[in-house]
Structure 1
């Protein structure tokens, strides 16, 4: 069965994780991806979840507490382009980005290409060999098309000896459906 982009990304990311892994949610939002990562890294693993909005971090924390997984996650109120500042030399098995705006929040606060590109570049450095990065793109909102085009351009130019890139796009949907990029690091 063909899955929607976000569902497909979550399945692949979750299946790649093992107990003790490190994972990153570059855009915590309402916490759904953070929760998935926390389940996947097991009791010995750790998730680092970033967001610039306190509302997003509060939503994420509540979801984690309700699922008794808050101890597996470090919540960081910071832009996703500060990954290396917080992770240093740690290597991540999985990194998830869900760009755009906080569902149910202020739609004027959006991710922007000028921070998104450095976040992806830092994420690629942090990603361990055979690690996977998912990038959910939403071209339908103000600023979204520009961000989507910029991210796709970056992904197209990644060295194929170092990365495998998949562009998952349901092309018969109307109104600029979300697009998914998956990047696996080979070396």
Structure 2
């Protein structure tokens, strides 16, 4: 049995970080206390909690999900005074984030797919996701970061991934910097990460 310590920035099996962990590492490096951020896909609240920790004290997280169960689970994990939990799809974020915060959001995090532990047929949809990511860029402040974890392996996920790719590569390079991270030597369709930095 090896006595070497496990790397801190590793997947559960000791390998390279997952797409979600890569996103968290980037966000943790950039977010500061007092920032306002968005969790576009609340799920069970793990990303929402992570974001509250990044912007505490003084910050705020707007989190969105279409499933009532997501709000219930998330409310158990996060400080109420730091969060606004919205029972609505991410494509409505511009309507729910106060107008005075438009163009001032420090980061927006998407974790696409389905809510773990529930009906796997209830998934994020390409048509609403694409509306949401376009709105996200309008809400971001200059220097803000958008992260999108994509799961091409489940039904509907590959189409969603292709649409994200087509949209991302067409973004104006003078306004946005885009990176794409994915495992390349796996037979299955592993999760991928897209990151968009809005230039200052």
* TM-score range for the pair, normalised by the shorter chain length: over 0.9
**What TM-score, normalized by structure 1, do the two folds share?**
0.95
| Count of aligned pairs between the two proteins | 183
| Cα deviation 1:129-179 (Å, max 9, x = unaligned) | 111010000000110000000011100000000000000001112320000
Does the CA-based 8 Å contact 1:89-1:126 persist in structure 2? no
Aligned match for 2:149, one of 123, 128, 136 = 136
Does the CA-based 8 Å contact 1:50-1:80 persist in structure 2? yes
Match of 2:94 in 1: 84
Deviation at 1:70, TM superposition (A): 2.6
Aligned match for 2:33, one of 19, 35, 40 = 19
Does the CA-based 8 Å contact 1:49-1:75 persist in structure 2? yes
Match of 1:46 in 2: 60
Q: Computing the radius of gyration over CA atoms, which structure comes out larger, 1 or 2?
A: 2
Q: Give structure 2 stretches of 5+ with no counterpart.
A: 1-8, 10-15
**What TM-score, normalized by structure 2, do the two folds share?**
0.89
Q: Give structure 1 stretches of 5+ with no counterpart.
A: none
Deviation at 1:43, TM superposition (A): 2.1
The reply to whether residue 118 of structure 1 matches residue 169 of structure 2 is: no
Three-state SS of the structure 2 residue aligned to 1:89 is helix
Equivalents in 2 of 1:173, 1:72: separation in Å? 39
Quote the RMSD (CA, aligned, Å).
Answer: 1.0
Equivalents in 1 of 2:67, 2:174: separation in Å? 37
